[in-house]
Amino acid sequence: MRPFDYTRAKSAAAATRQAASGGTFIAGGTNLLDLMKLEVMAPDALIDINRLDLNHIEETDDGGLRIGALVTNSDLANDMRVRRDWPVLSRALLAGASGQLRNKATTGGNLLQRTRCLYFYDRAMACNKREPGSGCAAREGVNRILAILGTSEHCIATHPSDMAVAMRALGAEVETLKEDETTRRLTLDELYLLPGDRPDRETVLEAGELITAVVLPPPVDGRQTYRKVRDRASYAFALVSVAGIVAMEDGRITKADLAFGGLAPKPWRDAQVEGVLIGEAPSEALFNKAADLLLAEAQGFGDNDFKLPLARRTLVSVLTELTQEARI
């Protein structure tokens, strides 16, 4: 690990100013410290934001929830309001990492964790995300955990978060504070960038811009679940995951909010997949039609070809589960 300066931020505004002049925020550090030990990231200065007043979960005027960026994954997963009204989020959080990591990892940090592509962590290998223009060893290499949607010729990495997948399905928005003390709100679709020809740029956040909170919309009708398919029963990243919120009325689907993990460089949502389900009676044929749309432009790279049939089966299974009561 290379030497670095360390500063404890006294306020969010001060933290953004320090970060804008070249520092890197640290909160739980559960991903950043690994990256620093491997010298994949080598910030000159760390700005510790752990003592900022961003660790509360508050109800919003419209019945939603504002989650401070420093709320830990454990506290968020176990919050009674989240467990009762946004269970897909609680389940996604509890499917991620381990108990020890969830006790340290924060909401903001979880959103900004880096890909687990093996080549990104190995400085001897070509990686456009780590070193722009060096190539992508994963395309022809070991790519079992990597993406089949939203990729580019420059990068096929996946976003590793479970939490972000549930938040995408819920329509959550991220609140940020910029160096000039202005704030903005971004949907998760707006926050994350696809790799294109700049896989080193992962979000639209500007230098020094700090995620201060995530806002959940009010609870919605319907059944919710988070299904994660992985190599081990715990402490493993998703090969495929589906966050689903489905509502039914008179035997027909009236809501189908679906987000996918393990498939793309960002939590994936596809309006066509949801649109084909609305107004229809549930059936395996319908669910397969939704999977056809989801996978219409999917591309495997060898080791990860299995994700195409796995994504189909997982989607069909989740939709079957979420509509089952109404079909009996």
Contacts with ligand SF4, residue ranges (CB under 6 A) = 115, 117, 119-120, 127-129, 136-138, 146, 155-157, 199
- Cβ closest to ligand SF4, residue 63 vs residue 132: 132
Longest pairwise C-alpha distance within the chain: 64
Q: Which is nearer to ligand SF4, 156 or 256 (CB)?
A: 156
Considering the complex, what minimum distance in angstroms separates the CB of residue 93 from ligand SF4? 25
* Nearest residue (CB) to ligand SF4, 150 versus 199: 199
Strand partners, 203: 192
Question: At its nearest, how many Å lie between ligand SF4 and the CB of residue 95?
Answer: 23
Closest distance between ligand SF4 and the C-beta of residue 140, in Å? 10
Nearer CB in complex with ligand SF4: 136/253: 136
Residue 76 tokens read as 């968020």
The CB-of-283 to ligand SF4 minimum distance in angstroms stands at 37
What's the CA gap between 46 and 7, in Å, rounded? 6
Please, are residues 204 and 289 in contact by the beta-carbon 8 Å criterion?
no
Residue with Cβ nearer ligand SF4 (159 or 168): 159
Q: Report which DSSP code applies to 219.
A: P
Q: What would the DSSP string read from start to end of 81-98?
A: HHHHH-HHHHHHHHTSS-
DSSP for 291-312 reads: HHHHTTT----STTTTHHHHHH
Indicate the Cα dihedral angle 313, 298, 224, 216, nearest 10°.
170
Q: Of 135 and 222, which has the nearer Cβ to ligand SF4?
A: 135
CB of 154 to ligand SF4, least distance (A): 6
Question: Shortest Cβ distance from residue 143 to ligand SF4 (Å)?
Answer: 7
Q: Residue 74, SS3?
A: helix
How many angstroms separate the CA atoms of 89 and 175, rounded? 18
